[in-house]
């Protein structure tokens, strides 16, 4: 049975108490989505996330550990990209001879091909011989060492339901992942490795290195057929069924999907399009808060004319359900007193979707607040004020006396002349 994970779980959390102000969010309302309109999928597991934020929009058995076939090669590609400094580096093929039914580009033992072309062969036609070539050479002439690197990297990325026993993805004990882990891995690669993002959106490519030129075709036939789909990787074995990690971009929003255990290529493709379509139809990406924007002005105790600007610590961009009511609620002291340094944390902004809190953002002082004066300082200030006032009055009185004296002398001189 389908269940919505990630974002829905966060929206179900209780909203914060103690809010003293509400300001409009930068996002505006859109067309409401039909209640409970979840995608209907014929797959063992699936997941959908927003590429830019990682927010999970949908999950069907998202954490279930399943065979993943050649989507294993996503991690093979990642370890290679992170370990090899130049894509022009060439590797010699080992004595690996894949079975005739395996996906391959026909590398022969000793044939040299660039890492650039081996990665294209790995990602587009899902060539097993290219995967073994990369693993053997990047692993220091040891495939088992390379697999260990894959598992270390999975742990570092927090892929809790992923374990590898092969760089290829054939049905092997201990080689599994989950729909949620696969979309997280694909998102990381799409956002951190431009070569990967460019490669997986190619319908075909020419491999110019090696003993002969080769033209390879992307097994993800949605790329080039559906104009807004731009990745990512297919897989198929008897145990895994048909698997596809997909990605698409529409109206400036990018989503990443995973469908595991479909019954056929056509079902794999249909489920992927359905899931991505559902995401674009029911969510929108909104800039809710901008870092540095003034969200409130708080008075300072003892300084009736001073109100300190309060700013957001960071920008919040989130995928939110279309038609949802978005507010930013502020939790702040009603008055402030010093001393406080500039950018001190003094409160929290709660981004509220509907009736529930989606995210919290620290609120900072835009400028410092000086320490309030001590009793002694206040006494000295008052005395100085009185002295200054006395001097001003004395000066004014002296000025009046001098003016009168000048006037008297002027009148006396006038009388003598007459």
Per the structure block, which two tokens stand in for 210?
């090696």
d(CA 41, CA 108): 41
Active site residue 126: yes
Is 73 noted as a catalytic residue in this protein?
A: yes
From the CB of residue 70, how many other CB atoms can be counted at a distance below 10 Å? 26
Determine the Cα–Cα distance for residues 262 and 345; give it in Å rounded to an integer: 50
d(CA 379, CA 373): 10
* Six-digit token string for 416: 């003598």
Catalytic residue, chosen from 70, 178, 180, 324, is: 70
**Other CB atoms within 10 A of residue 280 CB:** 17
How big is the chain, counted in residues?
418
Paired strand residues for 91 = 113
First-to-last C-alpha distance (Å) of the chain? 120
Pure H helices in 52-193: 73-83, 115-123, 128-138, 143-156, 179-192
Q: Residue with structure tokens 């294209």?
A: 120
Catalytic residue among 73, 178, 247, 324: 73
Q: Could you tell me if 5 and 38 are in contact, meaning their C-beta atoms sit under 8 angstroms apart?
A: no
Distance of alpha carbon 168 from alpha carbon 190, whole angstroms: 20
Marked catalytic residue, from 103, 114, 126, 177: 126
**24 CB burial (10 A radius; 0-12, 13-18, 19+):** exposed
User: Could you give the count of Cα atoms lying within 13 Å of 162 in the half-sphere of its Cβ?
Assistant: 30
Question: Which helix (DSSP H) or strand (DSSP E) does residue 195 occupy?
Answer: helix 194-200
Which residue is it, tokens 């008897």? 238
Q: Are 235 and 226 in contact (CB under 8 A)?
A: no
64 counts as catalytic: no
Q: Which helix (H) or strand (E) holds 206?
A: strand 204-207
Q: Is residue 77 a contact partner of residue 188, using CB atoms and an 8 Å limit?
A: no
Catalytic residues: 70, 73, 126
């Amino acid at each position: 049975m389908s269940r919505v994970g990630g974002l829905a779980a966060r929206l179900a959390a209780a909203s914060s108490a103690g809010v003293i102000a509400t300001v409009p969010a930068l996002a505006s309302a859109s067309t409401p989505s039909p209640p409970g309109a979840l995608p209907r999928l014929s797959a063992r597991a699936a997941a959908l996330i927003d590429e830019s934020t990682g927010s999970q929009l949908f999950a069907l058995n998202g954490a279930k550990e399943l065979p993943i076939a050649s989507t294993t090669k996503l991690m093979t590609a990642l370890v290679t990209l992170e370990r090899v400094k130049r894509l022009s580096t060439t590797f010699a093929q080992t004595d690996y001879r894949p079975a005739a039914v395996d996906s391959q580009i026909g590398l022969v033992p000793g044939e040299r091909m660039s890492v650039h072309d081996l990665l294209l062969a790995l990602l587009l036609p899902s060539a097993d011989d290219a995967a073994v070539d990369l693993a053997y050479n990047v692993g220091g002439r040891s495939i088992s060492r390379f697999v260990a690197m894959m598992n270390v990297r999975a742990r570092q990325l927090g892929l809790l339901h992923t374990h590898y026993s092969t760089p290829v993805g054939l049905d092997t004990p201990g080689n599994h992942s989950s729909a949620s882990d696969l979309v997280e891995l694909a998102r990381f690669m799409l956002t951190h490795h431009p070569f990967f993002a460019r490669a997986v959106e190619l319908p075909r490519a020419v491999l110019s290195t090696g003993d002969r030129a080769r033209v390879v075709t992307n097994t993800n036939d949605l790329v080039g057929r559906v104009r807004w789909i731009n990745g990512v990787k297919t897989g198929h074995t008897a145990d895994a069924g048909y698997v596809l990690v997909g990605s698409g971009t529409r109206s400036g929003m990018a989503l990443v999907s995973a469908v595991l255990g479909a019954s056929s290529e056509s079902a794999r493709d249909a489920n992927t399009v359905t899931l991505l379509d559902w995401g674009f139809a029911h969510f929108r990406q909104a800039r809710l808060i901008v870092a540095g924007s003034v969200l409130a002005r708080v008075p300072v105790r003892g300084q009736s004319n001073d109100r300190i600007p309060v700013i957001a610590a960071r920008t919040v961009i989130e995928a939110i359900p279309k038609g949802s009511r978005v507010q930013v609620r502020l939790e702040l002291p009603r008055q402030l007193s010093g001393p406080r340094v500039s950018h001190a944390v003094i409160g929290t902004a709660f981004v509220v979707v509907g009736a529930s809190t989606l995210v919290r953002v620290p609120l900072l002082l835009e400028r410092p607040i000086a320490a309030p004066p001590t009793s002694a300082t206040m006494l000295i200030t008052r005395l100085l004020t009185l002295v200054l006032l006395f001097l001003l009055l004395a000066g004014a009185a002296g000025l009046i006396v001098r003016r009168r004296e000048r006037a008297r002398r002027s009148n006396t001189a006038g009388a003598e002349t007459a």
